[in-house]
Amino acid sequence: MHMPGAKQESARAGGSKPFDVEAAIAAVEAVVGNATRPVPLHEPYFGGKEWDYVKETLDSGWVSSVGKFVDDFERQLAKHCEVSHAVATVNGTAALHAALLLVGVRPGDEVVLPALTFIATANAVSYCGAVPHFCDSDARSLGIDPEKLDRDLAETAEIVQGVCRNKRTGRRIAALVPMHTFGHPVDMDSLVELAARWHIPIVEDAAEALGSTYKGRHVGSHGAIATLSFNGNKPVTTGGGGALLINDPAMARAAKHLTTTAKQPHAWAFIHDQVGYNYRLPNINAALGCAQLEQLDVFLAAKRKLQGRYQNAFRNVAGASIFTDANYATSNYWLITMMLDEPSEQARDAFLQAAHARGLQCRPVWTGMHRLPMYQNCPRMDLSQAEALEARIVNLPSSMSLEFGRSA
């Protein structure tokens, strides 16, 4: 059967071969096989002790924000992510908000972040009363382009008495938030060096990157503080949840205090010494997370096998390929990504329309933050690469069950 717009010309004259929508759909169907339609973009997999641990919280009555599973979950996270401390939160956005506050972001500051990110990254900046400053992406990592950011800061910023300020707006640039897109690590060494020169603390947004490594080290261990998400569509889920990853003991204590309504320990009195937040992860959710973390290595292996099958299936698809991790990185392949050779919203949307008609729940990358109404007047550099990537990226069905359910 011929699909409407089965072959789409690339957006650039003289570009690569036209994108073959029909061949791309066939490649996806070869990977998902006879999976029940619709095929989700990403669904959780429960194959361990989830039922046992959650039942234990119900039987004990410890289902709220304290309990043994919260402590166990934090210890397991810290060990796996190679940091000293982990503080569990209700979701990844809450973790980001708290992290920005902990590094000193205040109302009227600017925070540098990629334009190509999930809305939570920008919203967390807004929750602090600060202003997002959008930067461009690198096509090799899908995250912040360090060289381009450095050039932009050289034009727009200056160091005044040890503080980085935007010369055009007068605002303090209070943090840099690299985001590891779809689990693909950013070039952290370059960003750490840049941030040190410009006196800007780093808050790593590793919401999508649990299990990913940069030069052999787990992401989230390179900046002052990092955040994770355990939403239902992440490789490890607590239903809804997040975490702060911290190496400094004083900051870890401050994080736990801030996310527990800033309540002073006392047998009965309610004494709060600052504006705090009710951001602690409930024990029942942490129980689910503990069972999921026990299976993380199995999950990661399945993800890499699934990505390999996609890569093989797309070898002869004209105009597109499967995105692979950089030579310095090992990705968790949270969402497996098809990349059009050339930017073309027409070709991208033709594929999405055809995929959804076949029950394949694919999706484009997020709309650039600078194009959303509440952020369109924020400071930004040239975002040509981010805009090109927005017209090239499609996420494909990436559930671990597609690998676990495959016959040998």
> What is the reported pLDDT for 223?
86
Each as own residue / partner, the long-range contacts of residues 68-72 (CB below 8 Å, 24 or more positions apart, any chain) are 68/283, 69/283, 69/284, 69/286, 69/287, 69/289, 69/290, 70/280, 70/281, 70/282, 70/283, 70/286, 72/286, 72/290
Residues 231 and 350 in one domain: no
Domain for residue 287, yes or no? Answer: yes
CB atoms within 10 A of CB 349: 15
CB atoms within 10 A of CB 205: 31
Domain interval for residue 353: 7-45+296-404
Measure the CA–CA gap between 257 and 275, rounded to whole angstroms. 10
Determine, yes or no, domain membership for 197: yes
Asked whether residue 332 falls in the same domain as residue 256, the answer is: no
| 235, 262, 293 - which closes a domain | 293
Residue 65 DSSP code: S
What is the rounded average pLDDT for all residues in the chain? 94
* CATH label of the domain that carries residue 393: 3.90.1150.10
d(CA 206, CA 182): 9
Strand pairing of 173-176 and 110-114? parallel
DSSP one-letter string for 384-396: HHHHHHHTTEEE-
The answer on 148 and 18 residing in a single domain is no
pLDDT band per the 50, 70, 90 thresholds, residue 67: confident
121 with 141, same domain: the answer is: yes
Q: Is residue 1 part of a domain?
A: no
pLDDT at 143 over 50: yes
CA gap 53, 59 in Å, rounded:
10
Give the C-alpha separation, 285 to 406, whole Å: 29
Residue where a domain stops, chosen among 293, 321, 342: 293
Same domain, 94 and 227: yes
Q: What is the CATH number of the domain that holds 123?
A: 3.40.640.10
Nearest-angstrom CA–CA distance, 157 and 225: 23
- Tokens representing 45? 């997999």
Residue 175 corresponds to which tokens in the numbers above? 């943090």
| CA distance readout (Å), 347 to 5, 7, 312, 393 | 8, 8, 22, 11
Reduced to 3 states (helix: H, G, I; strand: E, B; else coil), residue 402 is helix
Q: Which of 248, 205, 237 is nearest to 45 (CA)?
A: 237
| Residues 32, 121 within the same domain | no
Predicted confidence (pLDDT) per residue in 39-65, tens digit:
999 999 999 999 999 999 999 999 988
Same-domain pairing of 289 and 313: no
Q: Please check whether residue 261 lies inside any domain of the structure.
A: yes
Average pLDDT of the segment spanning 91-99: 98
CB 322 within 8 A of CB 339: yes
pLDDT at 408 over 50: no
In a domain, 78, yes or no: yes
Q: For 325, which DSSP code?
A: -
Instruction: Answer yes or no: is 2 within a domain.
Output: no
Q: What is the CB-side half-sphere exposure of residue 182 using CA atoms within 13 A? A: 29
Q: Inform me whether the pLDDT recorded for 211 exceeds 70.
A: yes
Same domain, 38 and 78: no
Confidence at 401, pLDDT banded by 50, 70, 90: very high
Is residue 59 domain-shared with residue 28, that is, in the same domain? no
CB atoms within 10 A of CB 108: 14
Tokens of 396: 């494909």
pTM attached to this predicted model: 0.94
Per-residue pLDDT tens digits for 152-205: 999 999 999 999 999 999 999 999 999 999 999 999 999 999 999 999 999 999
Q: In the numeric block, which tokens belong to residue 282? A: 């409930």
In a domain, 281, yes or no: yes
3-class DSSP state of 78: helix
Name which of 76, 82, 54 is nearest 204 in CA terms: 82
Boundary (domain end) residue, out of 246, 271, 293: 293
Q: How many domains does the chain have?
A: 2
pLDDT at 307 (0 to 100): 98
Q: Which among 34-38, 210-214, 261-265 has the top mean pLDDT? A: 210-214
Q: Is residue 309 part of a domain?
A: yes
Q: Is the pLDDT of residue 5 over 50?
A: no
What dihedral do alpha carbons 237, 238, 240, 243 form, nearest 10°?
A: -90
Same domain, 222 and 300: no
Same structural domain, 117 and 249: yes
209 and 96 fall within a common domain: yes
Dihedral sign computed on CA atoms, order 241, 79, 47, 398: positive
- Alpha carbon 386 to its chain centroid, in Å, reads 16
* In the predicted structure, residue 210 carries a pLDDT above the cut 70: yes
Summarize pLDDT for 308-343 with one digit per residue, the tens.
Answer: 999 999 999 999 999 999 999 999 999 999 999 999
